[in-house]
C-alpha cells in the first residue's frame, strides 16, 4: 500500500511540474547587434499573474507589470558594450515563477585604466586595463611597441584577474 501511495504522489508531482508551462524566447541569442526586440511567449494552464524582465539577475524596474499577459517584449536600442548581459523574461504564475534566458552578446570594449604611466629605470609598474561587454574576455595579452613600431608581446610576469 505504501508503494502505491508513493507512486500516486510521484505522478501528482510530475503532473504539477509538467503543467507549470513552457516559455518560448526569441531570439535565442542576440550577437553584436545595434538594436533588438526580445520576445517571450508563455504557454500554461496555470494563471499568469504578471511579468517582468531581468538583466544579470536584477529586475529591470520599468518592466514589472501585473496582469494575465502571455506575450511580452523588451526593446533594446543603441546596444553597446554596457548593454550586454544575460536578460530573462519572468512570468509570475500561481505557485511561483517561470523564466527563460536570452543572452545579449556584445563586442568587448577594452580600455586602459590610466592613459599614461611614467617611471624611471628600475621602477616597478602595474598596468591595468578594463573591459566591458558580455561575455567578458577570458584571455588577453600585453604588448609593447618595439623598434620600428613593431608590437612585441610581453610575457614576463603577466597575470589576469
Give the mean pLDDT of 58-75: 98
- Between CA 158 and CA 161 the distance in angstroms is 10
Q: For 22-105, CATH number? A: 2.60.40.10
Q: Which residues of the chain form CATH 2.60.40.10?
A: 22-105
Whether pTM exceeds 0.85 = no
Task: Indicate left, alpha or beta for 22 from its phi (over 0: left) and psi (-120 to 50: alpha).
Answer: beta
Of 82 and 101, which is predicted with more confidence?
Answer: 101
Region of poorest pLDDT, from 49-53, 70-74, 147-151: 147-151
Q: How confident is the model at residue 11 (pLDDT cuts 50, 70, 90)?
A: very low
Amino acid at each position: 500500500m505504501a508503494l502505491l501511495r508513493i507512486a500516486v504522489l510521484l505522478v501528482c508531482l510530475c503532473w504539477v511540474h509538467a503543467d507549470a508551462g513552457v516559455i518560448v524566447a526569441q531570439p535565442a541569442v542576440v550577437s553584436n547587434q545595434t538594436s533588438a526586440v526580445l520576445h517571450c511567449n508563455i504557454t500554461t494552464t496555470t494563471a499568469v499573474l504578471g511579468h517582468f524582465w531581468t538583466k544579470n539577475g536584477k529586475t529591470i524596474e520599468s518592466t514589472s507589470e501585473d496582469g494575465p499577459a502571455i506575450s511580452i517584449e523588451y526593446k533594446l536600442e543603441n546596444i553597446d558594450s554596457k548593454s550586454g548581459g544575460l536578460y530573462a523574461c519572468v512570468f509570475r504564475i500561481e505557485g511561483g515563477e517561470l523564466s527563460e534566458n536570452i543572452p545579449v552578446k556584445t563586442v568587448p570594449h577594452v580600455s586602459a585604466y590610466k592613459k599614461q604611466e611614467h617611471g624611471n629605470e628600475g621602477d616597478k609598474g602595474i598596468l591595468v586595463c578594463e573591459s566591458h561587454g558580455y561575455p567578458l574576455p577570458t584571455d588577453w595579452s600585453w604588448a609593447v611597441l618595439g623598434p620600428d613600431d613593431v608590437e612585441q608581446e610581453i610575457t614576463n610576469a603577466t597575470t589576469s584577474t
